[in-house]
Structure 1
Amino acid sequence: MTTANVNTTEDSPPEFVPESLRGFMTNSEWDELLSRADYLITSLESIDDSNTRQSVFELLKVLDKIHRESLTRLIRLFKDGVLEQVITDPPIRTLMDLYDLLPQSLGCSDTDSASIALNSKKLARWVPSRFSEEKLKDDLLYSDQIEDHFIFLAKVENKIYGFSADCLVNHELMIGATLEGYSLVCPHHDGCIYDIRNGAKLGSDAHIGCYPVKKEKNRILIGFDMPFIPELPSF
């Protein structure tokens, strides 16, 4: 019998301990839970036995189909405006985002899907950028192509952001765009400005794609087909 070895301890986020009352998790606890799920999914990719690894991911794909079909039917029962109201709650919004059920105008990334909700073509993964952290200068734009995605990277106030380089107006690459603080200024259209923290287009409900970014030693890793959670200041 082959034993599947999965490292779930080294550099692992602390194991999440659920509260006794469901539905009262704080945003911080929710973030910890997502972090733990992301880590465990990544750990599954290191299973030594290929047949076991394939079976595990096949199970995740089946679970994805079960959840996706059920949630899609549930959303169809909502009256107009109900979905827009309930997704103001972060866990509900994350769940809808994981299964591509956010209203199109509210979705930040056309590549958002779940680390734990895998479909037949998408696997949550971290892909290294060609840029290392030390090469990024503050308040400048860096273009990169990862797989078939054209993205911009930018470091503002010591935080690295990754976002789509496609303009929403005509899907043209924004080569020559400029960065003013957190504002991405499109070079092709007057007044076409995006917030790089969440992809929001100024004066519109539309968003360009945003990607999770993390640093591993000196490498910059971009997250694909996983949830993107914007970090904006609270007032």
Structure 2
Amino acid sequence: MQQLICYISFGFIQKHIGKLGILEYIFITPSNHRVHHAQNPEYIDANYGGVFILWDRMFGTFIEEMDDLKPTYGTVKPLRSWNPIWSNLEIYHQMIRDSFHTNGFKNKIKVWFSSTRWRPDDVMEQFPHVSNDMSNFVKYDPECDSPTKTFSLLQFITNSIISTALIFTVADQSYVITCIVAAMLIFSTTLVNLILENKQWAVNLEIIRSIFVVTAFFEFQHTTLNPYN
């Protein structure tokens, strides 16, 4: 059941499903989850639930999606990258930098235990945050050619199929195999996003990765069909 919930949640922030009546009061629906991922000031810090919205309603963190205010996805501080690894590690990079550069031992420790909004005054001045201007918001959208988009789409479809298979068969796999496949998916997805950002070194890595995958596939086929050779 947990695997099914994880799989369904992949589509929860898409915009084509409207409000779902009484379900809006019980579950995290696409409408409720869109609010969670929005950077609009009116939607900040809301709808944290993973399955049920009841807890947000109980503890005052629920905000309903407004018909006249379309959620703008993203972070208040511009990430300007499609790298999924960097998007998860960027906050720790900031905390390490702040802890290293701030004056005073107390502040160096406080960085790690205070609210994520809090930063020492000296590093705020040295490394200021520039928030998105929501009145003139420009989406991060690097230009890339049609072949690159086509390749990326095919890679996305392939990775989605493999991810789905991994989710629904994880109980039947060894821990090592699960980790290897998951690592390959993360690596492949990261490269696709970097290629869409026109990173030439990512293209070179993708060529090497593709050669490795094809070679490993044929070697596996040979070993399976001829186990004693």
- Which TM class, normalised by the smaller chain length? under 0.3
Q: Which has the larger radius of gyration?
A: 2
Q: Taking structure 1 as the reference length, what is the TM-score of the superposition?
A: 0.22
Q: Taking structure 2 as the reference length, what is the TM-score of the superposition?
A: 0.22
Answer 1 or 2: which has greater strand percent. 1
Higher relative CO (Cα under 8 Å, sequence separation at least 6) belongs to: 1
